[in-house]
Structure 1
Amino acid sequence: MNKTSFLVLLFISILPAHLFSQQNKLIGKTAFNSQYPQFFHFRGEMKRDVHTDYDTWEKKYVASSGLLRKYICEELKIDTILYSWLNRFAETYPEKLLLLHFNGEARQVNDYPEINKKYFPGHWVYETGSLLSEDCTSSQTHIQVKAIDYFREKAYVYRNTSPRRWIPHYVLLVELDEQGNKLWYNSEIAHIKSIDSSTSTLILKRGKTNTQSRSFKAGKTYVAPIAGGIWGNDVMFYYNLSSACPKDKNGRTAANVLLNEIHHWFNPDNGILKKLDGIAFDVNYFDVSKHESWDTNNDGQADGGWINGQNIWQAGDLQFLKNLRKRMGQNFIITCDGQHPINQQAVGVLNGIESEGLVQHNDGWRGFSRTVNTHLYWDKFNPLSPQFRYVVLKLMDGNDQHHAERLRRFGVATASCLGAYTTVPDSYSFLPSWIQPCSFGRIQGELIRYAKSSPNLLSGTPAELLHKGILKGENCCMSIQGNSIIIKPATQSSTLSIKNVELPTGDITIFIEAETITPPDANSDLVPRFIYASLSNLPDYEPEKKTKEFFTDLYGLVGHEKNENSFYFRRPKVSAGKQTLTITIKGTEQLQIHSIKIYNRPDIIIRQFENAVVCVNPSLEEQEIHLSDFITEYSEKLKIAPIDAVFIPKSKNK
């Protein structure tokens, strides 16, 4: 026996029994046999037609590789009968991957008094508030504050109603000590009925959210709006997951309490979710700066999770995820939304990400490069095994829904080429009959980038471009190292520009290879930074501003090893001429750019599998390619319709 084998056996022998059983359990999962495509059932709590009895429920889900859905009442009221159904299903089909889908940012509290016992008032996020300006009794409904503008009658919105329905702020009234510290246990939650701005008066419903009405003193009481949102027809309060979250009398932060809850649910002996394989966080943000009114360190000033230039929200949340990984072990699956820069980027802690929509909720195809870059980064740099990344085939844009079959085919093909799985399409009818789950087989060979088969339009290395004065920078210093350039950002956002780039008509794909060279921060580990690219003189793609921006809001991920990102711009009817390429770099770490290349072709991706070749065309126009240029055994010309994909069985070409 060699030394390595001995150490492996020694490690296995000292594993806790429940982790060893988890490891064996994951090995047999269909999800980890590396065959594509794979389809997972996503959610389904509201589909009451399948909740009539266990047999009906089982029939709905048995054809897929696994199930990701809600089992905890965090934003929806879940029928507890599902626990027994879930355990029965897991025992009957041990090859299925079963994950809890869980809101990782907020919690319903009003109908759940037990939540008040677990989390104390300091565990929620508050917006900037105001001091009470007059004493109030426990029965008083009209209270005066010094600054009324922080409070809103339209605070939380029901997003799925038309017209939209709003409800006012919930507020916390909390006593202050002589030093101005919040006495969290001497507090009350109230709900605003209306606001009289002329007299700085809040008209309240007192003693709400399972709290008792109290009397409060003017100048010694802080009144703060509670940060929240509406899911499942009620307001949810945000956990304060920042590193500045207050601790309760037992010394626990909100993250500590949430960690204990999750561990309890998955306890292998008596946990209600003991048969599950892990957790898929619905949302769990790394950056909350879009919430400009949030006061995450409770000093009375809005900070959006950033204090003195430091992202204290990311620091606290990353530590929570690290602690969760440590508590649950390496053989517990943890994923989270990763389709936005503000979403999870905890590479090396999570097993992977969820893309809710191929690109994002309302975008099933437009910002194609974002999905390609994000999934390729996780595939290349995430050291955890097994990896589990998946795409929810969600099409929330009304126009996209009219092309659902084609766009879901496009989504299945893209995900498979990127080594990710998808959720179950509405039906398999849009797929050729021979394509069944896992029918492509395993991936063979690297991802083929069709655009690179054309000439590079940008003459010169980054060093040459800088030396000639063609490449310029803002909010940064640049220097030459070999053929590369070193960028030292002076602010959180620095910009490079290359002007007068002569481009022909037609689509453009840009490839940028870069890496971060500053030693990683102790808290960052493998967390990447973001790099954006844009071109001047792009067309107006769609009349709606939001969907128009989907085409151009393209970014890539850069870490502490070389990585290449692509930026694909569709340019229908754009004339040939001189354009400007703009590159925006986020973060203050030094960055090394090794190459910048521009090609006059769409970013078609091609991948070989054991049983098929899959080709994805993200262009707005039909594309004809010669497969023989990339794969010798294929001689025919291949035509791919716009925003579509083709699956070619290898058996037909033997």
Structure 2
Amino acid sequence: MTAQDNNHSTERPNTSAPLRITRRQLGVASGLAVLGGLVGTTAPTAWAAPSPTLGTPRDLPLFSGGFPRSFFFRSSEVLIGGRGLEYDEWEETFLPLNGIQGKVLQETRSDWVSPDNVVYFNRFKERHPEKAVMLHYNGSGRDPLYGTEGFFAGHWLYRAGTQSTESVGADATVIKVGDTAMFTMRAGRRGDRGDDICITAVGEDGRPDWSVAEQVQLVGIDAAASTITVRRGLFGTSAVTWPAGAYLAPHVVTGPWGPPHLSNLLWSYNFSTRCPTDAAGRNCGDALAEDLAGLFNPGGLLESFDGMEFDVFNFRAIEHTDGGGQPAEDADANGDGQPGGMYVDGVNTYGIGSLEFSQKLRALLPNKVIMGDGQNELNNQRGFGVLGMEAEGFPSLVDREYVDWSSALNRIGFWVTRSDDTAFNYINYKYRGERSADIDYRDLRLNLAASLVLGAGFTFTKRPPRPGHILGPFDELVKGNLNELNWLGAPLADPVHLAERQPDLLTGAGVSWRESMVSKFTGTNMTFTRDLGSGDSPRLVATYHGAAPEPSPEPHFQQFEWGSIDHPGGDLLLVMSATGTPLADYPSTIGRRLYLSAIDAEGNGEQLFTWIDPDAFMARFYFRDLAAGPVHLHFEVEGTEEIVIERLTAHNSADTVYRAFEGGVTFANPSNHDQTFDLASEFPDQGLTRLQGTPDQDPVVNNGQPLGTSLTLPAKDGLIVRRA
């Protein structure tokens, strides 16, 4: 009873299923569409950037050209299946920027992913080789009706199950089990359906035999009778007779992400390094890497694509049940039928396995651009140096007040500095709960300014109005009404954080590390020493001497304090360069979490974040509107390994920042108050002019007028201007 073609039609919770297509069918459709002349007349090319000498994806303007480096997000898929645009109109819609990203496969949803998606995307790349074409792909799991034939049952992640207490005939739908509490009728992110369940044989060693499996779907639980009712032989498997003692395990699932009547639960990949292996000795990460490489390598359906972004690709396993998401800490990671195994002596085997999968895929696709979610340090990826990152929402999906401004800059900046030339990092302008038409142009400008300060790419889920266009783009991305891509060119220098020009409230004590500074650090079971290291520059070394913490899925955090800064009141910017010894039993590249709070005299203060690793990283922590008086610093650092602070300064000013480019300048004001930039001093004899915007966006700001000798930027706003 090995897995069959899991793209075959099967029973579903609702019978109004959308069209399901196999990869073979997609490939045939793609070929026929091109041969049959799906694409008609040549669309206008006024939006094209100068064509580079193309070699690998890294040569494309999106990845190595001038700034802004921008692309259209998943509207590229929606306007095919959701709106049904003819190709010529669709193509013209997506020419204005450096590329597109979207779904062409049905691993997550099929309601607006049709055979036309891959046809349109491939044709777009063929006609416009200077544009980047990227796949959006679910990184945590897949719809069991999509392409699971390359996997075996043990590659999926399950909760611990139970055994049948009676034999089960091939036609039976009611199964007597040892413990009905192992199952739920509230699976998924909406909590509106029963578990998907795998039935397996049990081997002589008492462990599940994942090579012999049937997939079923739970439709009812009778706890009093110790029975469950299921639909049999689903997702490409056959209903067969099972002896008493067969093992039944519920899948760890996410989703569904599409309309309830058109979508399945997604089966979670078991990325754990302890994942069961198939007959070929492959774990889930091996199988998935080979599966994707077959699509992108020569002869594959997505051979022309430049890369992919793994959405919801996490370092911790997450499951959706009872209408919400939570870590799947008790999942059966090693497939032995028992809960747990995800963590061994407190080490996250799922996270390490997800990194190993990324490394395998990178080795198989050395020239493709590969990205993953990196916005949430608690759950998202930590594949620095292997992946690029998407920041979905800036500073986050819910932070419209920019409280976490500096945490977001640190988070993305760390990815940028750790990336090689096959990585791409970008900000996605969106906020949770908003419609695509809800646009605040101050947010847009501040999001874009942050991406330019960081040297990152930019995309959006909003739909900016523009005369004659279905979908924008934003004026700032194309030099207003001049319609010029990558118009800012290359940066001329690093970003300038103006607060750092203000006096250091620590008077250099966090640079020289004199004894009066070092002695103010305190922490339980910790020592703090001044050290010259391997050079002549002093530094602070923080060392933990306590007992080893008990192994736990939640890592131990060192906590220590320093006090205090004599703060005049108002905004405070802390600038810190730090390193950290890698976490024991983890790859050295995954980084450690560091949180820093500044607590004022009234007990107020935010907790801000940065990553640290063995290489020095300059992080900034921006606190707004603190009360006058003493300000105490509170540190929390992941792990018990050594921490080194090379430099720490404090400045009583807003974190206003600008960055100069060949073609213009970007300004950012994340503070709660208007801030003035002295242009005469910063840009002497350099005329700066506002863009001439289009009438349907923000023509009051983008009015085409020269800036003059100063710029007053409103609170929580940004501005991108051109050189005269």
List per-residue Cα deviations over 1:165-189 (Å, max 9, x = no partner): 5212222222212321211133322
Rounded Cα–Cα distance in structure 2 between residues aligned with 1:576 and 1:198: 65
Report whether the alignment pairs 1:638 with 2:711. Answer: yes
Rounded Cα–Cα distance in structure 2 between residues aligned with 1:534 and 1:144: 55
List per-residue Cα deviations over 1:83-139 (Å, max 9, x = no partner): 333332222211111111111211001x34x52x22111010011223334444344
Report whether the alignment pairs 1:131 with 2:163. Answer: yes
- The correspondence for 1:35, drawn from 58, 61, 66, is 66
List per-residue Cα deviations over 1:360-393 (Å, max 9, x = no partner): 33345442222211222233232x2154221111
- The correspondence for 1:57, drawn from 84, 87, 90, is 90
1:406 CA drift (Å): 1.7
1:282 CA drift (Å): 1.7
Residue of structure 2 in register with 1:487 after alignment: 542
Letter in 1 for 2:407: R
Rounded Cα–Cα distance in structure 2 between residues aligned with 1:97 and 1:23: 11
- The correspondence for 2:612, drawn from 558, 569, 577, is 558
- The correspondence for 1:244, drawn from 265, 270, 274, is 274
Distance change in 2, residues 1:35/1:517 (3 Å) = same
1:226 CA drift (Å): 0.6
Report whether the alignment pairs 1:502 with 2:566. Answer: yes
List per-residue Cα deviations over 1:504-536 (Å, max 9, x = no partner): 322222222111245x87962533222111233
Letter in 1 for 2:421: S
Report whether the alignment pairs 1:524 with 2:587. Answer: yes
Letter in 2 for 1:284: F
Contact kept in structure 2, 1:154 and 1:167, CA below 8 Å: yes
Residue of structure 1 in register with 2:493 after alignment: 445
Report whether the alignment pairs 1:625 with 2:655. Answer: no
The count of residues paired between Structure 1 and Structure 2 equals 605
Determine helix, strand or coil for the equivalent of 2:614.
coil
Contact kept in structure 2, 1:537 and 1:579, CA below 8 Å: yes
Distance change in 2, residues 1:403/1:226 (3 Å) = same
Give 5+ residue unaligned stretches, structure 1.
Answer: 1-20, 159-164, 542-550
Rounded Cα–Cα distance in structure 1 between residues aligned with 2:630 and 2:225: 60
Contact kept in structure 1, 2:101 and 2:135, CA below 8 Å: yes
Determine helix, strand or coil for the equivalent of 2:485.
coil
Determine helix, strand or coil for the equivalent of 1:125.
coil
Residue of structure 2 in register with 1:336 after alignment: 372
Rounded Cα–Cα distance in structure 1 between residues aligned with 2:585 and 2:558: 23
Residue of structure 2 in register with 1:228 after alignment: 253
Contact kept in structure 2, 1:400 and 1:407, CA below 8 Å: no
1:335 CA drift (Å): 1.4
Q: 1:364-383 to 2 correspondence within 5 Å?
A: 365-382=402-419
- The correspondence for 1:194, drawn from 191, 201, 220, is 220
Identity %: 26
Contact kept in structure 1, 2:198 and 2:251, CA below 8 Å: yes
Report whether the alignment pairs 1:121 with 2:153. Answer: yes
Rounded Cα–Cα distance in structure 1 between residues aligned with 2:173 and 2:117: 42
List per-residue Cα deviations over 1:455-491 (Å, max 9, x = no partner): 2223533854787642112465544324422233455
Contact kept in structure 2, 1:227 and 1:294, CA below 8 Å: yes
Letter in 1 for 2:210: W
1:49 CA drift (Å): 6.2
Give 5+ residue unaligned stretches, structure 2.
Answer: 1-51, 319-326, 465-471, 533-537, 550-555, 687-707
Structure 1 residues 65-74 or 39-48, which shifts more?
A: 39-48
Letter in 2 for 1:279: M
Rounded Cα–Cα distance in structure 1 between residues aligned with 2:339 and 2:574: 39
Contact kept in structure 1, 2:601 and 2:628, CA below 8 Å: no
Structure 1 residues 450-459 or 194-203, which shifts more?
A: 194-203
Contact kept in structure 1, 2:150 and 2:291, CA below 8 Å: no
Residue of structure 2 in register with 1:570 after alignment: 624
Contact kept in structure 1, 2:208 and 2:337, CA below 8 Å: no
Residue of structure 1 in register with 2:445 after alignment: 409
List per-residue Cα deviations over 1:128-156 (Å, max 9, x = no partner): 22333444434443334444433222121
Determine helix, strand or coil for the equivalent of 1:46.
helix
Rounded Cα–Cα distance in structure 1 between residues aligned with 2:436 and 2:606: 18
List per-residue Cα deviations over 1:540-577 (Å, max 9, x = no partner): 99xxxxxxxxx945311112211111122233xx5323
Rounded Cα–Cα distance in structure 2 between residues aligned with 1:399 and 1:553: 30
Rounded Cα–Cα distance in structure 2 between residues aligned with 1:204 and 1:307: 34
Distance change in 2, residues 1:400/1:450 (3 Å) = farther
Contact kept in structure 2, 1:170 and 1:225, CA below 8 Å: yes
Determine helix, strand or coil for the equivalent of 2:294.
helix
Determine helix, strand or coil for the equivalent of 1:508.
strand
Distance change in 2, residues 1:225/1:400 (3 Å) = same
List per-residue Cα deviations over 1:378-431 (Å, max 9, x = no partner): 33232x215422111112244998552221121111111110111156234664
Report whether the alignment pairs 1:288 with 2:317. Answer: yes
Rounded Cα–Cα distance in structure 1 between residues aligned with 2:397 and 2:346: 30
Letter in 2 for 1:461: G
Residue of structure 2 in register with 1:514 after alignment: 578
Residue of structure 1 in register with 2:187 after alignment: 155
Taking structure 1 as the reference length, the TM-score comes to 0.85
1:67 CA drift (Å): 0.9
Residue of structure 1 in register with 2:202 after alignment: 176
1:295 CA drift (Å): 2.2
Letter in 2 for 1:29: L
Distance change in 2, residues 1:224/1:589 (3 Å) = same
1:28 CA drift (Å): 4.6
1:211 CA drift (Å): 2.4
Residue of structure 2 in register with 1:458 after alignment: 506
Distance change in 2, residues 1:477/1:31 (3 Å) = same
Letter in 2 for 1:286: F
Rounded Cα–Cα distance in structure 2 between residues aligned with 1:533 and 1:396: 26
- The correspondence for 1:307, drawn from 337, 341, 344, is 344
Residue of structure 2 in register with 1:585 after alignment: 637
Distance change in 2, residues 1:311/1:501 (3 Å) = same
Determine helix, strand or coil for the equivalent of 1:377.
helix
Structure 1 residues 459-468 or 601-610, which shifts more?
A: 459-468
Report whether the alignment pairs 1:142 with 2:174. Answer: yes
Residue of structure 2 in register with 1:472 after alignment: 522
Rounded Cα–Cα distance in structure 2 between residues aligned with 1:627 and 1:131: 74
- The correspondence for 2:430, drawn from 394, 412, 425, is 394
Rounded Cα–Cα distance in structure 2 between residues aligned with 1:498 and 1:397: 39
Q: Once superposed, what is the RMSD of the aligned Cα atoms?
A: 3.0
Rounded Cα–Cα distance in structure 1 between residues aligned with 2:225 and 2:137: 42
Distance change in 2, residues 1:85/1:583 (3 Å) = same
Rounded Cα–Cα distance in structure 2 between residues aligned with 1:285 and 1:65: 28
Rounded Cα–Cα distance in structure 1 between residues aligned with 2:331 and 2:446: 39
Distance change in 2, residues 1:387/1:316 (3 Å) = closer
- The correspondence for 1:325, drawn from 343, 362, 370, is 362
1:448 CA drift (Å): 0.8
Letter in 1 for 2:93: K
Letter in 1 for 2:215: I
1:288 CA drift (Å): 2.8
Distance change in 2, residues 1:348/1:338 (3 Å) = same
More strand by share: 1
Residue of structure 2 in register with 1:16 after alignment: none
Distance change in 2, residues 1:304/1:506 (3 Å) = farther
Distance change in 2, residues 1:626/1:475 (3 Å) = farther
Rounded Cα–Cα distance in structure 2 between residues aligned with 1:466 and 1:494: 22
Report whether the alignment pairs 1:534 with 2:563. Answer: no
